[in-house]
Amino acid sequence: GENVEQHPSTLSVQEGDSAVIKCTYSDSASNYFPWYKQELGKRPQLIIDIRSNVGEKKDQRIAVTLNKTAKHFSLHITETQPEDSAVYFCAATGSARQLTFGSGTQLTVLP
Amino acid sequence: EAGVVQSPRYKIIEKKQPVAFWCNPISGHNTLYWYRQNLGQGPELLIRYENEEAVDDSQLPKDRFSAERLKGVDSTLKIQPAELGDSAVYLCASSLLSDPSTQYFGPGTRLTVL
Q: pLDDT tens digits, residue range B71-96?
A: 889 999 999 999 999 999 999 999 99
A103 three-class SS: coil
CB B62 within 8 A of CB B73: no
Interval A28-47 mean pLDDT: 92
Residue A84 is predicted with a pLDDT of 97
Residue A79 is predicted with a pLDDT of 97
State pLDDT tens for residues B16-58: 999 999 999 999 999 999 999 998 899 999 999 999 999 888 8
For CA atoms B2, B45, A22, A41, the dihedral sign is: positive
Interval A73-93 mean pLDDT: 97
CB B64 within 8 A of CB B76: no
Q: Is the pLDDT of residue A80 over 60?
A: yes
Which residues from B are below 8 Å from A91, CB to CB? 42
Interval A91-102 mean pLDDT: 85
Residue B2 is predicted with a pLDDT of 75
- State the best of A21, A25, A98, A105 to mutate against chain B, taking most chain B CBs within 10 Å: A98
B55 three-class SS: strand
Residue B1 is predicted with a pLDDT of 57
Neighbours of A40 (CB within 10 A): 8
Contacts of B62 (CB under 8 A, 6+ apart): none
What distance in Å separates residue B16's CA from the closest CA in chain A?
A: 26
A89 touches chain B (CB under 8 A): yes
Distance CA A50, CA A48 (A): 7
E strand map for chain B? 5-7, 10-13, 19-24, 31-37, 44-50, 53-56, 65-68, 75-79, 88-96, 99-105, 109-113
Task: Give every strand in the sheet of A56-59, ordered side by side.
Answer: A4-7, A19-25, A72-77, A62-67, A56-59
- Phi–psi pair at A42, nearest 5 degrees: -120, 175
Q: Do A93 and B101 make contact, defined as CB atoms within 8 angstroms?
A: yes
Which residues from A are below 8 Å from B91, CB to CB? 43-44
Residue B105 is predicted with a pLDDT of 95
B46 touches chain A (CB under 8 A): no
What distance in Å separates residue B26's CA from the closest CA in chain A?
A: 14
Residue B98 is predicted with a pLDDT of 85
How far, in Å, are A21, A75, A89, A94, B97 from residue B109 at the CA level?
28, 28, 19, 27, 24
Q: Do B56 and A93 make contact, defined as CB atoms within 8 angstroms?
A: no
Residue B70 is predicted with a pLDDT of 83
Q: Is the pLDDT of residue A96 over 80?
A: no
**B112 vs A1, higher pLDDT:** B112
B106 touches chain A (CB under 8 A): yes
What distance in Å separates residue B70's CA from the closest CA in chain A?
A: 22
Residue in B43, B56, B110 closest to A44 by CB: B43
**Residues A7-36, buried b or exposed e (16+ Cβ, 10 A)?**
eeeebebeeeeebebbbbbebeebbbbbbb
Distance CA A100, CA B16 (A): 30
Which DSSP string do the residues of A31-66 spell out, in sequence order?
A: -EEEEEEE-TTS--EEEEEEETT-SEEEETTEEEEE
